[in-house]
Amino acid sequence: MDRQQLLEQVKADGVLFVSLQFTDIMGTIKSVTIPVERLARALELGVWFDGSSIYGFARIYESDMFLVPDVSTYRVLPWSSPDRLRARIICDVHGPDGEPFKGDPRSVLKSAVGRAAAQGCHYQCGPELEFFLFNNNGDVAIRPVPNDVAGYFDFSPRDNAQVVRSDIVKALNAMGMGVEASHHEVAAGQHEIDFEYADAVTAADNAITFKYTVKAIASTHNLLATFMPKPVFGSNGSGMHVHQSLMDPAGTNLFYDPDGQFNLSTIACQFIAGQLHHARALAAVVAPTVNSYKRLVPGYEAPVYICWAQINRSAMIRIPRGSPAQEASARAELRCPDPSCNPYLAFSVMLEAGMDGIRNRLVPPDPVSDDVYEYSEVELARQGILTLPGTLGEALEALAADPVVRGALGDHVYQGFRRARLAEWDEYRIQVTDWERKRYLETL
Ligand code: GLU
Ligand code: MG
């Protein structure tokens, strides 16, 4: 679609407002809404804004930035009322010199994708976002009361959330996301909706779109949708597993080799080896909140140990069994990411780690075949299996020590990311919790 076609489409759709969107380093969606009459001008000249008021973007003296709408991302928001009909367009952020701004996560991902493409590797991602639906208990507090009673894949007439999920699927399809399946997840109140894989930039656009669509539709049912990685102690948390492969320019899957282990090519194994090698630093970006590390614990189908496997859900990378059409479906599923990440930055570091494995012809260790949660410390040491960071603080240290992963973010984003996440970690570290009072107050 070119600009002229977009303007005609907007008119035909009866759109009155257009939200121009981008994300900050933390993954928060930012948007400026313009009346439709201003769209032609925005497409031609961009929309200027003050970058210094967006976290991690710019200092006060270098603050002028402008948004360049990516017309291919035009979508009408299906939940907006017809008398205020709104569409969104995702934008790239440019600096006053007209160049893509180095602090824009989408531009960071475009650079990483471009570097890999120059080597003939086109990165494809299929993220699977899990989430919880909670009852919204009045205006005093939102209490984590799961609003249904079903479990994994359950079909139950008591699953009230089925209705909500169907509405979400309809909205996602209207947003052009190609939903493949939706199901109840393991925990009460937990769900997953899977959509088509795509090139990494589109997949990251989709992940962002997914989150606000789910939230918008849930709120029309007076429910709260959350992508918090571990909202309930003792229950499964919410992951954002990412299925990944590389394609050559002709669209052939470079991960497939019918003679390889699990039908994987040498390139696929090197890519996997790269992600295993950089896993501890990757964690800081793909699982970037204090709460992320409450999910990455044994026993809840989230990874803890840095290893790979064919079917094992306790491994960090899993090779899903494909359908008979193996060629198209050869892929590696990275299981440590969670939906609190900024998907643009997450995919950037994941790609860079994998490409580093290819560059250095890394060989992955033997895959594991058991449930690694059950391994003793001795067994882990014998097999040389390391663990993911146990806290955000530990992950940030690993990131600081890994120039490849840091390099994928670029200095601007890395410094802003580190400042913000370190502050988050420091604030958390000094809290005195109920758990501590229960445990120590009387006995000490
Ligand atoms: N909820 C699990 C996680 O935190 C994953 C469950 C699954 O395998 O789909 O990663
Ligand atoms: Mg799942």
Query: Helix, strand or coil for residue 394?
Result: helix
Q: List the single range of 132-146, 318-332, 413-427 with lowest mean pLDDT.
A: 132-146
Q: How confident is the model at residue 142 (pLDDT cuts 50, 70, 90)?
A: low
- Pocket mutation for ligand 1, best pick of 186, 227, 338, 373 (most atoms within 8 Å of C-beta): 186
Q: What is the pLDDT of residue 347?
A: 98
Ligand 2 centroid to 142 CA: how many Å? 25
Q: How confident is the model at residue 184 (pLDDT cuts 50, 70, 90)?
A: confident
Q: Name the CATH topology of 3-100.
A: Ubiquitin-like (UB roll) (3.10.20)
Half-sphere exposure of 229 (CA within 13 A, CB side): 26
Q: Does 175 have pLDDT greater than 80?
A: yes
Compute the average pLDDT of residues 210-230: 94
Active site residues: 50, 128, 130, 185, 192, 241, 313, 333, 335
Q: What is the pLDDT of residue 323?
A: 58
Ligand 2 centroid to 103 CA: how many Å? 32
Q: Which of 34 and 148 is assigned the larger pLDDT? A: 34
Q: Does 78 have pLDDT greater than 70?
A: yes
Q: What is the pLDDT of residue 208?
A: 96
Distance CA 46, CA 339 (A): 30
Dihedral sign, CA of 30, 32, 33, 39?
negative
Span 110-434 CATH architecture: 2-Layer Sandwich (3.30)
308 token code pair: 């790979």
Alpha-carbon distance values, 246 to 88, 148, 160, 294 (Å): 29, 39, 39, 31
DSSP symbols for 209-253: HHHHHHHHHHHHTTEEEE--S--STTS----EEEEEEEE-TTS-B
Q: Which of 63 and 210 is assigned the larger pLDDT? A: 210
The number of angstroms, rounded, from the C-alpha of 226 to the middle of its chain's C-alpha atoms is 14
- Pocket mutation for ligand 1, best pick of 235, 236, 304 (most atoms within 8 Å of C-beta): 236
Ligand 1 centroid to 240 CA: how many Å? 8
Q: What is the pLDDT of residue 183?
A: 83
Q: What is the pLDDT of residue 48?
A: 87
Ligand 2 centroid to 130 CA: how many Å? 6
Distance CA 93, CA 112 (A): 16
Which of ligand 1's atoms lies nearest the C-alpha of 313?
8
Q: What is the pLDDT of residue 373?
A: 81
**What's the chain's average pLDDT?**
91
The strand pairing partners of 224, in sequence order, are 134
Q: What is the pLDDT of residue 59?
A: 64
- Pocket mutation for ligand 1, best pick of 313, 338, 371 (most atoms within 8 Å of C-beta): 313
Compute the average pLDDT of residues 290-315: 92
Q: How confident is the model at residue 199 (pLDDT cuts 50, 70, 90)?
A: very high
Q: List the single range of 69-78, 148-157, 372-381 with lowest mean pLDDT.
A: 148-157
Q: How confident is the model at residue 331 (pLDDT cuts 50, 70, 90)?
A: very high
Q: Does 266 have pLDDT greater than 60?
A: yes
CB 304 within 8 A of CB 373: yes
DSSP symbols for 135-171: E--TTT-----BS----TT---TT-THHHHHHHHHHH
Q: What are the residue boundaries of the structural domains of the chain, listed by start?
A: 3-100, 110-434
Query: Helix, strand or coil for residue 396?
Result: helix
Distance CA 217, CA 174 (A): 13
Alpha-carbon distance values, 218 to 121, 167, 174, 207 (Å): 38, 9, 16, 17
Smallest-distance ligand from the CA of 240: 1
Q: How confident is the model at residue 54 (pLDDT cuts 50, 70, 90)?
A: confident
Alpha-carbon distance values, 347 to 344, 354, 363, 427 (Å): 5, 10, 22, 27
Share of the chain above pLDDT 90, in %: 75
Q: List the single range of 29-43, 112-126, 152-166 with lowest mean pLDDT.
A: 152-166
Residue type, 33: T
Smallest-distance ligand from the CA of 302: 1
Pocket of ligand 1 (CB under 6 A): 130, 236-239, 295, 301-302, 313, 335
* Cβ neighbours around 432 below 10 Å, total: 8
Q: List the single range of 18-22, 217-221, 327-331, 433-437 with lowest mean pLDDT.
A: 327-331
Smallest-distance ligand from the CA of 337: 1
Q: List the single range of 33-47, 206-220, 317-331 with lowest mean pLDDT.
A: 317-331
pTM of the shown model: 0.94
Q: Which of 151 and 73 is assigned the larger pLDDT? A: 73
Q: How confident is the model at residue 140 (pLDDT cuts 50, 70, 90)?
A: very low
CB 130 within 8 A of CB 339: yes
Q: What is the pLDDT of residue 144?
A: 53
CB 267 within 8 A of CB 358: yes
Compute the average pLDDT of residues 180-202: 89
**Kind and range of the H or E run holding 87:** strand 86-94
